[in-house]
């Protein structure tokens, strides 16, 4: 005779909320994510368009839309830097470093930077200097891990 399967009752588990609290959210990280997603979308679109400019190029409506989103994010990042009265957190520095890397590597075809790109780079350079000056002072000049 086959054994009858036992019926199991599961109890609901409490899980930690994945959504950050409003006080934990960072507009800097959010704008970096927007910039990175927009530039990735632009490059993917150009690839899908076989590197023509018919649909995804900077002058085409779809390409212009995502490039404008990226440009706006860089503009907001520069404005946030100008209005900021405290140092960036480590996570914000990492996010801006990722945006910096994407901007500098780009698609290899840009030789002239636009105003928003220059403003972002200048503000980030200033923040890097301040961040590491403070970190060096706080650590007594000794390197430390994050």
Mean pLDDT of 120-138: 89
* Confidence at residue 4, expressed as pLDDT on a 0 to 100 scale: 65
Give the mean pLDDT of the chain.
Answer: 83
Under 8 Å between Cβ of 63 and 57: yes
Q: What is the pTM of this model?
A: 0.75
Q: Report phi then psi at 7, rounded to 5.
A: -90, 125
Per residue in 30-48, pLDDT tens? 999 999 999 999 888 888 8
- Cβ contacts of residue 123 below 8 Å, gap of 6+? 77, 78, 81, 82
Q: What is the pLDDT of residue 39?
A: 92
């Amino acid at each position: 005779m086959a054994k009858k399967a036992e019926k199991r009752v599961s109890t609901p588990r409490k899980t930690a909320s994945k959504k950050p609290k409003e006080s934990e959210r960072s507009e800097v990280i959010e704008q970096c994510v927007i910039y990175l997603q927009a530039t990735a979308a632009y490059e993917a679109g150009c690839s899908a368009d076989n590197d023509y400019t018919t649909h995804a190029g900077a002058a085409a409506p779809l390409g212009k839309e995502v490039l404008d989103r990226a440009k706006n994010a860089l503009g907001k990042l520069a404005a946030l830097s100008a209005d900021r009265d405290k140092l960036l957190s480590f996570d914000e520095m990492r996010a801006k470093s990722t945006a910096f890397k994407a901007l500098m590597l780009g698609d290899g075809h840009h030789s002239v930077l636009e105003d928003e790109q220059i403003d972002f780079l200048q503000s980030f350079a200033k923040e890097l200097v301040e961040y590491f000056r403070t970190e060096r002072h706080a650590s007594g000049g000794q390197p430390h891990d994050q």
